[in-house]
Amino acid sequence: MSRVSETNPAGDSVADPGSELDGGGAVARTRWVAVSVSAFATLLVASELSMAAFALPLIATDLGVGEGATAWVLLAYQLPLAALALPAGRWIDRTDPRTAFAASMALIAVVSVLAAIAPQFWVLLVARVLQGLASAAYLAVYLPVVTLSVRPDQRGRAMSYHATIMMVGSIAVAPLGGWLADAFGWRAVFLAKVPLLLIAAVLGLLVVPSLSRRAGEGERTGRALAADVLLVGSAVTAALLAVEQAGKDLTWTLVLAVVALGFGVVWSRLGTSGPVLALVRRPRVGWPALALLLTASLVGLITFSLPFFISAVLHRGPGLLSTAVVSFVAGSAVISPLAGFLADRFRPLPVATLGAALMTGSLFPMLTLGPETTTADLAWRMALLGIGMGLFNSPNMTTLLEAIPPQYAGTVGGVTNLARTLGGTLGPAVAALGWTLGSGGTSGFRIGVATLIALTAAAFVALLAARSTAGPE
C-alpha cells in the first residue's frame, strides 16, 4: 500500500504507513488487533499504582523504613506520571507512536526489575520515578494508537474497551498485589508483570501503526520539551502536593498553591503552551477534560470514605469493601460496551452527559447509609454508580477525540492523563476532609459523599456547557 501523509500546523509529518487509510487520510478499516494490544498494555499500566499499594507494609519491614515513608513508593510513581503528562503528550505528537509504545512498555519492564532487586529504599524510589515517567509516555500514546487504528464511526466502541480495562486495572486487579506479596514477598509484585510488559512491547512493534517524522525536528522538539518538563512538571508537582496538604497544614497548602500558580503562569506565556491552550479552549475539549477531572474524584469514595465507614460504622472487615468494589466494576463493565455503541450511534456527548447525571443521582442514596446497612444495600448502590461511570467514561473520551485534529491526539492524551491524576488526588483529599469535619462516623461519611455529589454535579454542568457553547469544530 502506498504511503499516505499530511502535515500538521507545526510542520510535523503525520504519515501512517502502518495503517489502512483512505485517500483523505482517514482510517478505512479498523485494526482491532492494535486496539486489543493497546487495551492489554493499558491494563498493565493502570494496575501499577494499585498493586504496589499492597506491598507497602512488607517494604517497610524488609528495607527498614517507617510506614509513613513508604507512601513515597506511591508518590514517586504518581508525581512524574502527572507532572510529565502534558510534556509527554506534546512529545508523542512529534514522534513515532509505534516506537513510543514499545519503548514505554520496555522501559517499565526494565525498571520494574530494578524495583524488584532494589537493595535500598532510595533505589526503589528511583525505579518508581522511572516507572512513572514511562507510564506517562504510554498514557499519552494510547489515544494516537486509537486514532490511527480505528474508523471514526467505531471509536466509541474502541474507547469503551479501554475504559473498561482501565477501570478493571486500577481497581479490580489491585488485590492481586496483596496475594503476590503474601505468597512470594513484595518483590514479586514488581516482577510478576515483567514478562507481560515485554510481550506488550513486542506486539506493539508488530501491530501498532507507525508515523514518519520530518528530519531536523528533534532539536526544536527537545528544547520545547525541556521547557515544558521544567515548568509544567514543577507546577503540577506543587499542585498535587498542595492537595495532599489540604486539611493538614494550611500554610503549606497556600505556599504550594502559589508556587503551582506561578509556574503555570510562566509556562502559559511561552510559545510551547500555545497548542495546548488552544486545544483546551475548544468547548468540546476543555469542558469534557474538566468533567473527567471532577468524576475521577469518585476514587475518594472507594479509597477513603467507604473503607472508614465500613470499619468504623458497620464494624465489618475488608470483605464488604471488596463486594462494594466488585459491584461497582461489574456495573461499569456491563454497561461500557453499550455506552460505546450508543456513542457511535447517537453521538458521544449526550451519552456522556447522561452518564454524569446518573453518577450524580446515584450518589444521593449513599447519604441514607447508616449503622444498619446490609451488604445488599451497599452493593446495589455501588452497581448503580458503576453504571453511571460506564456511561460517562468512553463517550467522554470519544467526544475529545472527535473535537481535535488527529495530529494532536497525544497532547489530548496528556491532558486527560493529567486530569485523571489530579481528580484521583482531589477525591481522597476531600473525602478525608469531610470525614474530619464530621468527626468521623456516619456524619463524616455523609459530608464526604455530599462533597463528591457537588463535584460530579459540576461535571454534569461542564458537559451541558460543552453542548450549549460548542459550534462546529
pLDDT in tens, 38-49: 988 988 888 887
On the question of pLDDT at 21 being above 50, the answer is no
Q: How many CB atoms lie within 10 A of CB 178?
A: 15
pLDDT of residue 26: 64
Q: Judge whether 376 lies within some domain.
A: yes
| Residue 275 in grid coordinates | 497548542
Distance, in Å, from the CA atom of 210 to the CA atom of 163, rounded to the nearest integer, reads 23
Domain residue limits at 44: 20-213
473 in a domain, yes or no? yes
Domain count, the chain: 2
Name the β-bridge partners of 13.
7
Q: Taking residues 55-72, what's their average pLDDT?
A: 82
CATH number of the domain encompassing residue 340 = 1.20.1250.20
pLDDT tens-digit map of 288-308: 999 999 999 998 898 889 888
Report yes or no on 86 lying in a domain. yes
Which of 213, 237, 263 finishes a domain?
Answer: 213
Is the pLDDT assigned to residue 173 strictly greater than 80?
no
Could you give the CA distance from residue 294 to residue 424 in angstroms, rounded to a whole number? 9
pLDDT value at 315 more than 70: yes
Asked whether residue 219 carries a pLDDT value surpassing 60, the answer given is no
Percent of the chain having pLDDT more than 90? 38
Determine which of 47-51, 195-199, 277-281 has the lowest per-residue pLDDT on average: 47-51
Quick: pLDDT tens for 128-161: 999 999 999 998 898 899 989 999 889 898 888 8
Are both 361 and 443 inside the same structural domain?
yes
Nearest alpha-carbon partner for 102 in 245, 202, 237: 202
Do 324 and 407 reside in the same domain of the chain? yes
Residue 141 lies in a domain: yes
Residues 209 and 289 reside in one and the same domain: no
pLDDT for 246:
72
Q: Is the pLDDT of residue 176 over 70?
A: yes
63 and 161 assigned to the same domain? yes
Task: List, in order, residues 6 or more apart from 342 with CB less than 8 Å away.
Answer: 156, 351, 395
> Quick one: pLDDT band at residue 170, thresholds 50, 70, 90?
low
Q: What is the mean pLDDT of the chain?
A: 84
Mean pLDDT of the 203-214 span: 82
- Asked if residue 20 has pLDDT above 50, the reply is no
> How far does CA 168 lie from the centroid of its chain?
12
Please name the residue that has the C-alpha cell 509556562. Answer: 267
Mean pLDDT of 113-121: 94
Last residue within a domain, chosen from 213, 232, 264? 213
Q: Within this chain, do residues 173 and 290 fall inside the same structural domain, yes or no?
A: no
Q: Are residues 410 and 329 in the same domain?
A: yes
Q: CB neighbours of 132 closer than 8 A, spacing ≥ 6?
A: 76, 77, 78, 79, 80, 81, 84
User: What is the mean pLDDT of the segment spanning 167-194?
Assistant: 79
The sign of the torsion formed by the CA atoms of 344, 345, 346, 350 equals negative
List, for residues 64-73, the tens digit of each pLDDT value.
888 678 878 8
Q: What is the pLDDT of residue 268?
A: 87
The stretch 387-410 carries a mean pLDDT of 91
- Rounded average pLDDT over 334-360: 93
Q: Residue 380 pLDDT > 80, yes or no?
A: yes
**pTM across the whole model:** 0.83
| pLDDT of the residue at 17 | 34
What's the confidence (pLDDT) of residue 15? Answer: 38
In this prediction, residue 396 has a pLDDT band, given cuts at 50, 70 and 90, of very high
pLDDT band for position 376 (50/70/90)?
Answer: very high
Say if CB 144 and CB 95 are below 8 A apart: no
212-216, 431-435, 438-442: range with lowest mean pLDDT: 212-216
Question: In 3-state terms, what secondary structure has residue 27?
Answer: strand
- Position 19 pLDDT exceeds 70: no
Domain shared by 160 and 294, yes or no: no
| Any domain includes 248 | no
Question: Do 181 and 308 reside in the same domain of the chain?
Answer: no
Q: What percent of the chain has pLDDT over 70?
A: 88
- Out of 171, 193, 213, a domain closes at 213
Q: Is residue 220 part of a domain?
A: no
**Residue 6 pLDDT:** 37
Residue 261 lies in a domain: no
DSSP tag of 150: S
Residue 118 pLDDT class (50, 70, 90 cuts):
very high
pLDDT for 22: 42
Q: Is a pLDDT exceeding 60 seen at residue 52? A: yes
Where does the pLDDT of residue 174 fall: very low under 50, low under 70, confident under 90, or very high at 90 and above? Answer: low
Is the pLDDT at 91 greater than 60? The verdict is yes
Query: 58 burial class (0-12, 13-18, 19+ CB within 10 angstroms)?
Result: middle
The whole-number pLDDT of residue 220 equals: 52
| Mean pLDDT of all residues in 429-455 | 91
Please report whether residue 4 resides in a domain.
no
